[in-house]
Amino acid sequence: MKLPEPRFVDTDGARLAVFEEKPEHRTRDVCVVLCHGFPELAASWRHQLRPIADAGFHVMAPDMRGYGLSSGPEDRSAYSIAETTADVAALIADAGYEKAVVVGHDFGGMVSWMMPYLQPESVAGVITLNTPFGHSRENPVELYEKAYGPRNYVAHFRTPECEEELDKDPARSFRFFMRRDTGAGTNLSRTGRHDPDSMSYIHWLWDDESTWPGELVMSPEELRYYSEAYARTGFGGGLSWYHSILRNWEVQRERFPDGNVPKARVPALLVAARHDPICHPALTDDLLQYFEEFERRMIGTGHWTQLEDPEGTNAILVDWLTRHF
């Protein structure tokens, strides 16, 4: 699996590996930063790097804090949205740009949504794949338990047992997560619904692999790349983002003390995945209230949008980027 050689950027508390492509001639005043989610790597954007560069943009995909070739603090509270958005701002400045379009998927989508509020001087636009906005007036951990029960995946990702099971056999863990629906659901949802059963999906990890529905969305080479990376680091860095959920809520309460989120003045795009029961498209119906200029496009994938349909994802991203910048 071919990726550009990474360069390394020191931020406040982390050293990030950055995989990038540049256009032959710089024609844009903004760069593009691609933020992956869990359990992924910068390599999750490998199909997007060259097409975005060919559209004239300097594009960067970091291994986010705690993942892959990047470092991360041992303090699990140091992975909150305050630190992760600051990491992205540092990458933008290091590359010599004032502003970027920040693109996020899954937990990386939390980074992209919060950039206009926490790093407003560094962001020119926002694109998010799948992820709802994620602002809550109430404790989100308690809300998840109330809505989905104590077995929900967010609660379980914060347990030592889950981390130990994921670390035991990284290749098996990726075979569990990285699947597309072939008619009977995937390990992220057997029903296709956003319900307590689906939101407790992580407990199927302990089942016999022959019972897992769907098919692997990775080639053998890609599976080897991810599993070898996680064999070196373990899943702890990525899971630290889940340990920081309460700190994220505190950061938002500090930023929005009255509980009201003002409309951001940068353009925003959501790419909603029609068959993603975890980040269900219905959970993004309220996004217009957060942005003065907002578009939503639908794509016919499950949760792993840019891996399941790279060409469709690229067409949407490049169209929006070239229209706005």
Q: Which residues are catalytic?
A: 106, 303
Q: Which residue in 280, 282, 316 sits closest to 299, CA to CA?
A: 316
Instruction: Count CB atoms within 10 A of the CB of residue 313.
Output: 24
Report yes or no: 213 and 179 within 8 Å, Cβ to Cβ: yes
| Three-class DSSP labels, the chain | CCCCCCEEEECCCCEEEEEEECCCCCCCCCEEEEECCCCCCHHHHHHHHHHHHHCCCCEEEECCCCCCCCCCCCCHHHHCHHHHHHHHHHHHHHCCCCCEEEEEECHHHHHHHHHHHHCHHHEEEEEEECCCCCCCCCCHHHHHHHHHCCCCHHHHCCCHHHHHHHHHCHHHHHHHHCEECCCCCECCECCCCCCHHHHCHHHHHHCCHHHCCCEECCCHHHHHHHHHHHHHHCCHHHHHHHHCHHHHHHHHHHHCCCCCCCCECCCEEEEEECCCCCCCHHHHCCHHHHECCEEEEEECCCCCHHHHCHHHHHHHHHHHHHHHC
